[in-house]
């Protein structure tokens, strides 16, 4: 209650300043999903520690891109985790210890067309002069490794493990649209089903009996293009 926060929030733009004599840890998150297209991403940045008088600006400069601007001279670092949908595949990318050295702008782009196909990169603009000085390629990792997620409490998955049926329970006191995505460990999309939720607690059942025993992943997105739930599924 004794802390002071300076912030500006407007369309596609958030700025945050720390005037207090205490370091503040910042989590920055961006998600975008188009249910009519095979694209969508969840970008999460953690480990940003702002000392006194430091500031951070985040902006959505283009579709499926997230920009983080550090305008001061302090040296910071962060961890980035990306979940991205490519046609019928969900891929995960993660990296730790990415440095901000002096005034710097980083643009996180999950849809860069690289030599291995679409992948996540970070375009680095040192000095914030609209000139890209470097490109950092983020390593793809198996789904569920080092993932950073905060699942909402009103979505649950049961039974898990399961041999034939997978139930997604949504306890939401409003009528809303959701998208349920089921993938294998390589991110290949096996199910991509819309859910029109009716107010209250409802169970939605999906048949997974045709799939081989092993590990899978369930993702649930809401109508506002936000990834709400990411969970491992064990198929017996």
Q: What is the pLDDT of residue 144?
A: 63
CB 154 within 8 Å of CB 172: yes
CA separation, residue 225 to residues 36, 149, 178, 221 (Å): 12, 15, 9, 6
115 pLDDT above the threshold of 90 = no
* Residue 1 forms part of a structural domain: no
pLDDT tens for 2-59 read 677 888 888 889 999 999 988 999 889 888 877 666 778 889 899 999 999 999 999 9
Query: Which pLDDT score, from 0 to 100, does residue 169 have?
Result: 96
Q: How far apart are CA 82 and CA 120, in angstroms?
A: 8
Could you read off the pLDDT of 94-114 as tens digits, one per residue?
A: 999 999 988 999 999 999 987
In this structure, are 87 and 183 located in the same domain?
Answer: no
Of 141, 166, 198, the residue at which a domain comes to its end is: 141
- Give whole-number Cα distances, 95 to 29, 44, 155, 226, in Å: 15, 11, 28, 22
- Residue 161 shares a structural domain with residue 193: yes
Give per-residue pLDDT as tens, 124-170: 999 999 999 999 999 988 776 555 566 889 999 999 999 999 999 99
What average pLDDT does this structure show over 91-96?
90
Query: Is the domain of 18 the same as that of 113?
Result: yes
CATH number, domain with residue 227: 2.60.40.2550
Query: Looking at the predicted structure, is the pLDDT value of residue 179 above 60?
Result: yes
CA dist list (Å): 214 to 15, 163, 190, 203: 44, 10, 14, 24
For the segment 193-225, what is each residue's pLDDT rounded down to a tens digit? 999 999 999 999 999 999 999 888 888 888 765
Beta bridge partners of 92: 83, 141
> Considering its fold, how many domains does the chain have in total?
2
**Looking at the whole model, is its pTM more than 0.95?**
no
134 and 198 together in one domain: no
| One domain, residues 135 and 206 | no
pLDDT of residue 171: 95
Indicate if 76 and 189 belong to the same structural domain: no
Beta 200-207 vs 189-197: how paired, if at all? unpaired
Task: Indicate whether 1 pLDDT > 60.
Answer: no
Look up residue 139 and give its DSSP letter: P
Shared domain for 31 and 131, answered yes or no, is yes
> For residue 35, what pLDDT is reported?
61
Tell whether 122 is covered by a domain.
yes
87-121: string of b/e by CB count within 10 Å (b at 16+)? eebbbbbbbeebebeebbbbbbbbbbeeeeebbbb
Q: Is 230 exposed, middle or buried (0-12, 13-18, 19+ CB in 10 A)?
A: buried
Q: Are residues 96 and 168 in the same domain?
A: no
Same domain, 129 and 161: no
Say whether the peptide bond before residue 10 is cis (omega within 30 degrees of 0): no
Residue 120, pLDDT above cutoff 60: yes
What is the distance between the alpha carbons of residues 17 and 192, in angstroms, rounded to a whole number? 40
Question: Taking CA 96 as the corner, what is the angle to CA 73 and CA 108, rounded to the nearest 5 degrees?
Answer: 70
Domain that holds residue 96: 6-141
Over residues 114-124, the mean pLDDT reads 87
Classify residue 146: in a domain, yes or no: no
């Amino acid at each position: 209650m004794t802390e002071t926060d300076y912030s500006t929030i407007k369309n596609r733009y958030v700025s945050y300043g720390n005037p207090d004599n205490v370091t503040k840890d910042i989590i920055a998150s961006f998600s975008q999903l188009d249910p009519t297209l095979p694209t969508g991403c969840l970008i999460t940045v953690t480990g940003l520690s702002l000392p006194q008088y430091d500031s951070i600006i985040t902006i959505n400069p283009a579709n499926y891109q997230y920009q983080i601007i550090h305008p001061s001279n302090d040296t910071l670092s962060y961890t980035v985790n990306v979940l991205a949908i490519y046609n019928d595949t969900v891929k995960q990318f993660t990296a730790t210890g990415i440095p901000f050295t002096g005034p710097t702008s980083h643009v996180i782009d999950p849809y860069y067309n690289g030599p291995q196909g679409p992948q996540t990169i970070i375009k680095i603009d040192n000095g914030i002069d609209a000139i890209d000085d470097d490109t950092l390629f983020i390593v793809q990792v198996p789904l569920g490794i080092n993932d950073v997620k905060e699942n909402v409490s009103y979505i649950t998955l049961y039974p898990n493990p399961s041999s034939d049926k997978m139930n997604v329970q949504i306890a939401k006191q409003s009528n809303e649209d959701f998208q349920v995505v089921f993938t294998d460990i390589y991110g290949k999309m096996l199910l991509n089903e819309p859910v029109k939720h009716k107010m209250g607690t409802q169970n939605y059942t999906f048949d997974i009996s045709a799939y081989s025993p092993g590990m899978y992943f369930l993702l649930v997105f809401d109508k506002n293009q936000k990834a709400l739930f990411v969970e491992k599924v064990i198929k017996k």
